[in-house]
Amino acid sequence: MRKTVVFDLDGTLADTSGDLLAAANYCFHDMGLGDVLSVDRDAGVALRGGKRMLTVGLERTDRYSLETVEAYYPVLLKAYGETICEHSWIYPGAMETIEVLKSQGYGVGICTNKPEGLADQLLRELGVRDAFEALVGADTLPVRKPDPAPLVETVARLGGEMPHTVLVGDSDTDRNTAKAAGVPSVLVTFGPSGEDMAALTPEALMSDYAELPEIVERLIGAA
């Protein structure tokens, strides 16, 4: 069975906060509130997903209601899909390292809480979709991370097995997913919440993608 390395997307492989926040602010403009969220202040909020952005923005303006969040969530997704790659970029060294891992024989896939269609669209617009053999999104299965099922499904699609898998992520969601699945996690420290990653006690921290091949081999052995 293949050994596999599975990546989160937002905040791990790519900084997508600018486009996510723009989509949220589109909704707030529609509500007559203007730009409520900003990249400088809310990049970490953006990587928590659309509903979290709406919740934070509405709470900040004393307009929060669950009904408003649910009503505007599809509006946000539509706006995001229309401008998904204007301010998003792959983190330095990520794709070069993925090619190294593949050349060494590891299976490489993505397990994200972004809806699968939007994840696929983003990866294609960034020009990197073909680098990943498997993609599982928030709506691929009835459950999403931190439930371990999406990670298990990603590994199955790669032809791997759980005891020989590493999950690379940027949040407590990824840490908890890996823990629930019984696999080691590597958390990146270069994202918006990087300073908080050590407190989550992952099996490894990564400040630069060049470090990853050595970390993976240490955690699960050579492919």
Catalytic machinery residues: 8
For residue 163, the SS3 value is: strand
The residues near 13 (Cβ < 8 Å, ≥ 6 apart) are 7, 90, 91, 94, 110
* Tokens matching residue 214: 């050595």
Other C-beta atoms closer than 10 Å to the C-beta of 117 total 13
The residues near 85 (Cβ < 8 Å, ≥ 6 apart) are 19, 122, 125, 126
Of 81, 83, 85, the C-alpha closest to 73 is: 81
- CA 57/CA 22 separation, integer angstroms: 12
Within 182-211, where are the H helices? none
